[in-house]
């Protein structure tokens, strides 16, 4: 299906008129790009009628309710990597949150970088943009406007870094028990790198010491959200969905509960506002960029599911806090363009879906991969387990007896035998040898993202040397996740409930405009670039979409 208007649709659009001739074109000095982690199009639609704050404001601009992360492995790191690079994960280098390095026999985190250290903990997991091989809109901007400032903030390192790019002036993420942290390169000091967040970190610590955070219902949404309370069993655990969250007894659990609550988003938005005002972003002659990745919706979705009282309260609080943040942007001296999207969507937990009549069930990863290894050892006469799936069972790696790169012959025979077994599994929709995916002819550039094949979705995820040898698409609502005390739901599939996200563009003077046809997240960066006079690289996957009705980019 091609991206074209039928005569009927075109005639309807013309008859509406939009009063668009007088619409103000965005002319920003500050570009704010917000990602709400795990904010699916379904979640947006479910709560849209309840918005009264920031989400209501942003929904009064140009609204794409059917945006798409059009790749297959819908995880946080690859999803964030598409938002401001204009490229799919097969070009950003971020194929998953984690991948298996067959050269070393170790699992690698998507942003791992042993050449740097963490500002809050020199022995912690060090991260940087090094593994992302694509550049972002902020990088393109600074290349032509060196005085432009670019900052990225998030509850997660992978939210702050992948959106703000390689040359950001600051990238900060929340570390419970410390505050906002960043990475330190050789020749830099932690004190120097943390200077932009030092005052806020001290304030946050003092506030928590004075008043510990208790998550209970917000006053305005309490009745609506409390009505969703119910009892569930996930795995062997019986629990009650509802607020307030019971007080933790250990310090570690207190920090975990704080992180997986609306507090993380509130702190992130406070830092975003603080950086905006401290550095006068948008007040000068140049264009500045502020990226904000809000992580709490993802933490809460994983821990409590997406449709219970916890998520209801989270969305209400997020809407309210976003409203305060947008109000603070009234102080910006130049124009402001705000974009909101998400790194991926997410379905609810399998047990609640099953009880509602959906054919939903869990596929438990460790026994699944163990069963394959046992059968392959017997069938092929192997003395070792030939399959690894440390980053998730949708990407399976073939290894030699030493746990590293196998011979070409072993790789071929093990992959072929494993694919036969995997395709027999009734929980599997499709499975492929990644070599076939890597050499697959790309779908036409004008193909709608919801209509591309599963193989094409996988192709857009597959980065050579990092992606697995066997790529698996489990059937819809077959959830490859083990339920635990603090984990009941997940995402990551190639299906629309994980791929569909809202994409909103807003600026003062924008005429409310709903666009029902899909928009790919890789179109966001070229669209922003056109609005600010910046030329994107020639090899981006996305294209500019005109923000003003009837006008070209």
Strands of 378-468, DSSP E: 387-388, 395-398, 428-433
Give 126's DSSP letter: -
For residue 119, give the 3-state DSSP assignment: coil
Any bridge partners for residue 478, and if so which?
361
Let me know if 76 is a catalytic residue. Answer: yes
DSSP string, 470-520: EEEEEPTTEE----BTTB------SSHHHHEEEEEEE-TTPPPEE--S-EE
Residue 168 CA from chain centroid, whole number? 19
* Contact between 479 and 361 (Cβ < 8 Å): yes
Identify the residue whose tokens are 């309490």: 222
Token digits for 164?
A: 């703000």
Q: How many whole angstroms separate alpha carbon 284 and alpha carbon 190?
A: 29
Give 444's DSSP letter: P
Residue 452 CA from chain centroid, whole number? 21
* Contact between 261 and 298 (Cβ < 8 Å): no
244: cis peptide before it, omega within 30°? yes
In 3D space, the residue among 105, 142, 110, 107 whose CA is nearest the CA of residue 31 turns out to be: 142
Identify the residue whose tokens are 């990644």: 434
Cα–Cα distances (Å) from 61 to 113, 273, 505, in that order, read: 39, 21, 6
Any bridge partners for residue 487, and if so which?
484
Token digits for 130?
A: 């090094």
| List 76, 92, 234, 297, catalytic entry | 76
Q: How many whole angstroms separate alpha carbon 424 and alpha carbon 401?
A: 26
Q: How many whole angstroms separate alpha carbon 248 and alpha carbon 176?
A: 15
Cα angle value 334/158/319 (rounded, 5°): 55
**HSE of 373, CA atoms in CB hemisphere, 13 A:** 20
Write b or e for each residue in 324-337: b if 16 or more Cβ atoms lie within 10 A of its Cβ, otherwise e: ebbebbeebebbbb
Q: How many whole angstroms separate alpha carbon 359 and alpha carbon 477?
A: 7
For residue 412, give the 3-state DSSP assignment: helix
> Measured in Å, how far apart are the chain's first and last C-alpha atoms?
23
Give 440's DSSP letter: S
The catalytic residue positions are: 76
């Amino acid at each position: 299906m091609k991206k074209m208007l039928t005569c009927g649709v075109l005639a309807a659009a013309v008859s509406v008129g939009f009063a668009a001739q007088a619409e103000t074109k965005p002319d920003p000095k500050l570009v704010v790009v917000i990602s709400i982690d795990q904010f699916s199009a379904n979640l947006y639609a479910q709560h849209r009628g309840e918005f009264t704050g920031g989400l209501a404001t942003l929904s009064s601009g140009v609204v794409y309710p059917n945006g798409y992360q059009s790749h297959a492995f819908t995880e946080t790191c690859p999803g964030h990597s598409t938002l401001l690079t204009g490229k799919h994960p097969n070009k950003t280098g971020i194929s998953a949150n984690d991948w298996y390095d067959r050269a070393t026999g170790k699992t690698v985190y998507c942003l791992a970088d042993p050449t740097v250290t963490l500002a809050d903990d020199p022995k912690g997991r060090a991260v940087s943009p090094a593994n992302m091989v694509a550049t972002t809109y902020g990088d393109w901007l600074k290349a032509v406007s060196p005085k432009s400032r670019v900052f990225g903030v998030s509850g997660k390192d992978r939210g702050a870094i992948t959106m703000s790019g390689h040359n950001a002036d600051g990238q900060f993420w929340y570390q419970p028990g410390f505050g906002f942290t960043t990475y330190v390169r050789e020749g830099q000091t932690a004190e120097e790198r943390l200077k932009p967040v030092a005052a806020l970190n001290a304030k946050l610590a003092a506030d928590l010491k004075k008043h510990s955070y208790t998550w209970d219902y917000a006053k305005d949404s309490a009745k609506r959200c409390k009505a969703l309370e119910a009892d569930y069993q996930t795995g062997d655990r019986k629990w009650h969905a509802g607020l307030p969250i019971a007080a933790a007894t250990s310090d570690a659990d207190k920090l975990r509960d704080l992180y997986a609550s609306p507090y993380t988003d509130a702190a992130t938005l406070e830092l975003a506002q603080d950086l905006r005002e401290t550095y006068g972003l948008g007040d000068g002659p140049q264009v500045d960029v502020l990226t904000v990745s809000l992580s709490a919706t993802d933490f809460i979705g994983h821990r409590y599911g997406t449709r219970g009282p916890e998520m209801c309260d989270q969305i209400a609080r997020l809407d309210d806090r976003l409203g305060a943040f947008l109000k603070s942007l009234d102080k910006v001296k130049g124009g402001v363009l705000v974009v909101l999207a998400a790194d991926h969507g997410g379905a609810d937990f399998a047990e609640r879906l099953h009880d509602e009549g959906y054919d939903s069930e869990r596929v438990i990863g460790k026994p699944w991969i163990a069963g394959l290894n046992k059968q392959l050892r017997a069938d092929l006469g192997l003395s070792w387990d030939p399959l690894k799936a440390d980053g998730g069972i949708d990407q399976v790696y073939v290894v030699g007896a030493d746990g590293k790169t196998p011979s070409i012959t072993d790789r071929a025979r093990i992959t072929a035998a494993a694919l036969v077994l995997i395709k027999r599994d009734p929980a599997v929709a499709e499975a492929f040898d990644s070599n076939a995916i890597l050499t697959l002819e790309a779908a036409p550039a004008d193909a709608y993202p919801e209509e591309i094949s599963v193989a094409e979705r996988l192709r857009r995820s597959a980065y050579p040397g990092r992606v697995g040898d066997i790529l698996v698409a489990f059937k819809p609502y077959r959830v490859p996740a083990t339920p635990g005390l603090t984990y009941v739901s997940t995402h990551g599939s190639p299906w629309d409930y994980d791929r569909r996200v809202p994409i909103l563009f807003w600026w003062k003077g924008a005429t409310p405009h709903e666009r029902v046809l899909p928009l790919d997240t890789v179109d966001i960066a070229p669209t922003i670039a056109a609005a600010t006079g910046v030329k994107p690289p020639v090899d981006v996957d996305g294209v500019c979409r005109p923000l003003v009705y009837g006008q070209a980019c």
